[in-house]
Homo-oligomer: A and B are copies of this chain.
Amino acid sequence: MASRKPVCLVIGAGAGIGGHTAIRFAAGGYHAVLARRSDEDSLARLINRIEGDGGTATGTLLNAADDGAIEELVAQVEHDIGPIECALYNLGAQIGNRKLHDTPHKTFELGWRLGCFGVYRLAHAMFPAMVERAKSGRHSTLLVTSATSAMRGNAGQHSHAAAMGGRRMLCQTLNAEFGPQGIHVAHIVVDGAVDAPDTLGKLLGDKYEAFKAAKGEEGVIDPAELAETYWHLAQQPRNCWTHEIDVRPWSDVAWWNDNPNPQIDGKGKSFAGPKS
């Protein structure tokens, strides 16, 4: 690691948004540091791909819920590899759709540990060095992948929405304190299905291909394409920073909408007349 490139640290570096953001930043001149909970083989393949493209990358397995894990990783990267100029917090807290009484206390808490506390821990560990570097003109970015549940709670999303709602407000507090100190915090509301074999793919199993086919042409977010938006955000100059942005496929209904062609059918929200 002679070069001391700026580092792009990705927490949650699977085959979806995390991995493709790493690939994009490596192509743009960053050294990518990839952390994911399991699957050393996939991690190795991702690093190989980045190196095959002429980039550099390092990987580690990490259970972000473990005490000290995020903190040690940040310290180690800063000491051994290089300055973290961009970090992507890409861990979800998704446990599927569960009723309240199918959501045990431990599950609810784990959602918060991964969905909200981890963002705080990463910022807490990483921002002091970033603030120091900003004083000499090297500005840094924290990208946070977020979800529809950061914007509204829905049945079955107790753990997820509580975690993501906290995450969104936390990103706003971080932005308010650290934006003027030179750290760009961006909260990205991913309001659609992502073509992510490690998460959505595993969740759906052999229904995954049928699901994607049913969504139609360009109906699922391509994480390689989305990574261009992540890259763009991290390149915005200080005079025009974005704090919040949404993304979804063209054919998807935005979270604030329901059926775009409502009928008068007495089923509540889809009734066109009065609920409008």
User: Which residues of A come within 8 Å of B, CB atoms?
Assistant: 94, 96-97, 99-101, 103, 105, 108-109, 112, 116-117, 120-121, 123-124, 127-128, 139, 147-158, 160-180, 182, 184, 190-194, 196, 199-200, 203-204, 207, 210-211, 213-215, 217-222, 225-226, 228-229, 232, 236-262, 264-269, 271-276
Oligomer: number of copies: 4
Could you tell me if A112 and B166 are in contact, using CB atoms closer than 8 angstroms? Answer: yes
Q: Of B103, B155, B221, which is within 8 A of A260 by CB?
A: B155
Q: Is B101 touching A128 in the complex (CB atoms < 8 A)?
A: yes
CA distance A269 to B249 in the complex (A): 11
Q: A191-B275, A232-B232, A245-B244 are in contact. Are A225 and B239 (CB under 8 A)?
A: yes
Q: Are B218 and A237 in contact (CB under 8 A)?
A: yes
Known A218-B239, A229-B240; 4 more pairs at CB < 8 Å:
A120-B158, A139-B250, A147-B276, A158-B170
Report the bound CA distance from A247 to B228 in whole Å.
Answer: 18
Alpha-carbon separation in the docked complex, A203 to B272 (Å):
11
Q: Which residue of the partner chain B has the closest CB to A147? A: B276
Chain B residue with the shortest CB-CB distance to A262: B97
Residues of B within 8 A of A260 (CB): 154-156, 176-177, 180
15 contacts between A and B (CB under 8 A): A105-B120, A116-B166, A147-B274, A153-B174, A154-B172, A155-B173, A162-B173, A192-B274, A203-B273, A218-B238, A218-B239, A238-B251, A239-B250, A242-B245, A251-B268
What is the minimal beta-carbon distance from A131 to any residue of chain B, in angstroms? 10
**Is there contact, CB below 8 Å, between A172 and B254?**
yes
Report which of B148, B168, B248, B251 forms a contact with A276, defined as CB distance below 8 A. Answer: B148
**In chain B, what residue has the closest Cβ to A244?**
B246
Q: Most chain-B CB neighbours within 10 Å: which of A149, A172, A267, A268?
A: A268
CA distance A218 to B117 in the complex (A): 32
Nearest Cβ on chain B to A193's Cβ, whole angstroms? 4
* Contact indicator B149/A215 (Cβ below 8 Å): no
Q: Indicate whether A245 sits within 8 Å of B245 (C-beta atoms), given known contacts A207-B264, A229-B240.
A: yes
**Contacting A266 at CB < 8 Å: which of B180, B214, B217, B247?**
B214
- Residues of chain B within 8 A of A162, CB atoms compared: 116, 120, 166-167, 169-170, 173
B215 A177 Cβ-Cβ under 8 A: no
Quote the shortest CB–CB distance from A106 to chain B (angstroms).
Answer: 11
If A96-B272, A184-B250, A210-B266 touch, whether A150 touches B169 (CB-CB below 8 Å) is: yes
A99 CB, min distance to chain B CBs, angstroms: 6
* A251 → B minimal CB distance (Å): 5
